[in-house]
Amino acid sequence: MKLTKFRVENFRSIRDSGWVELDDIAVIVGKNESGKTSLLKALWKLNPFHKVGYEIDREFPTGRRKEKSGDQVVVTAHFALSPDETQALAALHDSAKGITEVSVQRNYDGDYIYNFFPSSPAVDHDVKWVVGVIKDNLSELESPCSEHFKQQYQAALNKYIAEVEGGDGSKVAVAKAASLKSQFPSFVQQGYDNQRVQEQQQRMDEAVKEIQATPWRKVADELQKRLPVFVYMDDYRIFSGAAQLDEVLTRKQRKQTKSEDETIMLIMEMAGLNLDEEVEKGNQEDKRQRMMDMNDASQTLTNQIANRWSQKRYEVMFQADGQHFETFVKDADQKALVPLEDRSKGFQWFFSFDMTFMYETQGSFAHAVILLDEPGLHLHAAAQRDLLRRMSAYAEKNQLIYSTHLPFMIDFARLDNIYVCEENASEGSRVHKDWATADKDARFTLQAALGLSWSQSLFVGRFNLVVEGVTDYWFLTTISTLLKDSGELGLDEQLVVTPAGGASKVAYVGTILHGQELNVAVLLDSDKEGDDAFKQLVHSWILKERLVLRVGQILGAAGNRALEDLFDEAYYVAQTQSAYAKELTGKKLTLAAKPGLSVVERVEEALKAAGIPDFNKGRVAKRIMEDLAKKKLSDLPPTTVGNFKKVIAAANALNVGWRKA
């Protein structure tokens, strides 16, 4: 089951968070006390490893006492099912075939509410199945049995079956079962009939239990078993590798354990050590066997974590003297033993999380939703970047949601997965992607992150044209250079072209540059992704509509149009044929005449028809750039030159207007 989106309601400062969509990683950005922790903790309690419930007296929002009720839903989460899970559900009942998605809710009472998509399994068994279960369970009486009991029992059973067959499946069967069961003692004539009564009453209970397990209930129970565990960790966990074991055991028996005790017990359990046994061994004379046990436990835990991270390999070593227990962690390539609490805060965080993660996923390190609250606070900037890479490793077999207000914890290559969390008095804490309306503290984190990344890669000027991707940047700047080399007008020298890394990121980059009081225009393809970015930019009042250039409008063409449509179609097809020469051996690429589709979409269709399922337009762009490097402007088709001139003229006109203003 893969979490696709979630929503938190009625929890602490959150009235309704709004939907948060998730692929592999989502980032929640916001200032302190904005509701980030509440969001993660509410989601964590949907299915934590340790069965922790919601606490209505402490966690229900204040000021809404009349609404306070155990049936108030806290989290709604949507999960996509894998093909294996879909097949497993179909095997339970015909009505469960085709289920591909499920919504799981949990309320303050701890109840789970399931909704299935595109359709729900049956909430009741059909009558024929119910009657079959009853007959299989109750029809045959075991001997010895008095004739009187047999006659009375069979008459009552036949009447019961007739009533069930004329009713509404399992609901009627269950409702009438208690009545039938209560009649059995009245049929007794012989002593051994008493035993038959007990047997048949037990079999009736078994039949009712089976009937109550409706297809809907079976599907819900199956998915409950498959629900991913949610692992939560913040950055303030007390962590110690040393302890007096007898004192830990005493506090455990009195149910007064400290957080340090919990950590020690967790480490020992993952290493195969038993606290009670180790306390007993601490009082014994046989030191040699205990040393061997500690060495074996050290190797056991080290083997489990040895290949966790390629960046740093470490070994765990345990030592025990009487009741004193000590955990050492050493780098694999170093000899020195270092007590765990003497390692850096950053290392302790990693080690602590590894232990928690391994424990709560039963050693699999997989199929979990990881919730990290402000990770990396103890790490310096370079180590935070390293943490980002390691967190990507966490997300390879899991899903990861983390909160932060640190610029270095923002991955500028994944701007589309960033959410802003902020609180206002009237609505409570909300989570959204509308950077333009976010408070200045939330925007600062994003602005700083983008500024840091651009300082390492891109130039940003006073006048900026943001384009969707690096291939757009290549095409525009290269054709501009060819125009200038031929004595014609190219892009204005003061206009800086900035690739955003995709249509979904154009709005983010445009918003941040605009927030820095720079002159910004954007160039978007005329397709769905471009439409979405346009709405974010214009409808949110970030940019005026005239500052958002659309390829289709510039070309005066309806339907989907991408920047690749600036090239003459025959030229683009020829370059695609060349880029895919090996795969297209003996085949000629021919595009269907579909006015509503861009040249990229029609090339993709043509390649699929030729047996090539995946079209890499970057591969074609590289071939075009290699070709353009050998050409002069006069070598290009007039259509190509004319189209690029239109776009360049539109961008230059905006820049001239800015400068005059």
Shared domain for 246 and 329, answered yes or no, is: yes
Shared domain for 250 and 161, answered yes or no, is: no
Shared domain for 340 and 407, answered yes or no, is: no
With beta carbons less than 8 A apart as the criterion, state whether 305 and 356 touch: no
**Average pLDDT for the chain:** 84
- Greatest mean pLDDT among 233-242, 532-541, 575-584, 652-661 lies in 575-584
Domain termination residue (choose one: 314, 344, 360) = 360
Shared domain for 520 and 630, answered yes or no, is: yes
Q: How far is CA 59 from the centre of its chain?
A: 24
Shared domain for 180 and 248, answered yes or no, is: no
Shared domain for 517 and 390, answered yes or no, is: no
Segment among 89-98, 336-345, 606-615 with least mean pLDDT: 336-345
CATH number of the domain residue 396 falls in: 3.40.50.300
Would residue 76 count as lying in a domain? yes
Domain of 564 in residue numbering reads as 458-661
Q: What's the average model confidence in pLDDT over 522-546? A: 78
Would residue 446 count as lying in a domain? no
Question: What strands, in cross-sheet order, belong to the sheet with 463-467?
Answer: 495-499, 463-467, 519-524, 548-550
- Greatest mean pLDDT among 141-145, 235-239, 451-455, 587-591 lies in 587-591
Regarding beta strands 242-244 and 324-331, do their DSSP bridges make them parallel or antiparallel, or are they unpaired? Answer: antiparallel
Would residue 544 count as lying in a domain? yes
pLDDT confidence of 529, banded at 50, 70, 90? Answer: confident
Report the pLDDT value the prediction gives residue 457, as an integer from 0 to 100: 43
**Which tens digit of pLDDT belongs to each residue from 261-303?**
888 888 888 889 999 999 999 888 878 888 898 999 999 888 8
pLDDT confidence of 105, banded at 50, 70, 90? Answer: very high
Shared domain for 507 and 533, answered yes or no, is: yes
Kindly state the tokens that stand for 529. 């992704």
**Residue for token pair 């088709």:** 637
Report the pLDDT value the prediction gives residue 456, as an integer from 0 to 100: 42
Residue 162 has pLDDT above 80, yes or no: yes
Q: What's the average model confidence in pLDDT over 353-361? A: 77
Q: Higher-confidence residue: 571 or 347?
A: 571
Strand partners for 129: none
Q: What's the average model confidence in pLDDT over 455-480? A: 76
Shared domain for 163 and 220, answered yes or no, is: no
Contacts of 160-167 with CB under 8 Å at 24 or more apart are 160/134, 161/131, 161/134, 161/135, 164/127, 164/130, 164/131, 164/134, 165/127, 165/131, 167/127
With beta carbons less than 8 A apart as the criterion, state whether 555 and 525 touch: no
**Which tens digit of pLDDT belongs to each residue from 430-458?**
888 776 566 666 666 665 555 544 444 44
Shared domain for 505 and 632, answered yes or no, is: yes
Residue 87 has pLDDT above 50, yes or no: yes
Would residue 566 count as lying in a domain? yes
Q: What's the average model confidence in pLDDT over 495-520? A: 75
Would residue 610 count as lying in a domain? yes
Would residue 448 count as lying in a domain? no
- Greatest mean pLDDT among 28-42, 202-216, 346-360 lies in 28-42
How many independent structural domains does the chain possess? Answer: 4
Q: Higher-confidence residue: 453 or 410?
A: 410
Report the pLDDT value the prediction gives residue 239, as an integer from 0 to 100: 62
pLDDT confidence of 415, banded at 50, 70, 90? Answer: low
Would residue 205 count as lying in a domain? no
pLDDT confidence of 539, banded at 50, 70, 90? Answer: low
Share of the chain above pLDDT 90, in %: 36
What is the 8-class DSSP label of residue 637? -
Report the pLDDT value the prediction gives residue 458, as an integer from 0 to 100: 45
Shared domain for 136 and 246, answered yes or no, is: no
**CA separation for the pair 64, 11 (Å, rounded):** 11
Residue 214 has pLDDT above 70, yes or no: yes
Shared domain for 327 and 378, answered yes or no, is: no
Q: What's the average model confidence in pLDDT over 152-169? A: 82
Report the pLDDT value the prediction gives residue 99, as an integer from 0 to 100: 95
Residue 618 has pLDDT above 50, yes or no: yes
Report the pLDDT value the prediction gives residue 466, as an integer from 0 to 100: 87
Would residue 422 count as lying in a domain? yes
With beta carbons less than 8 A apart as the criterion, state whether 422 and 438 touch: yes
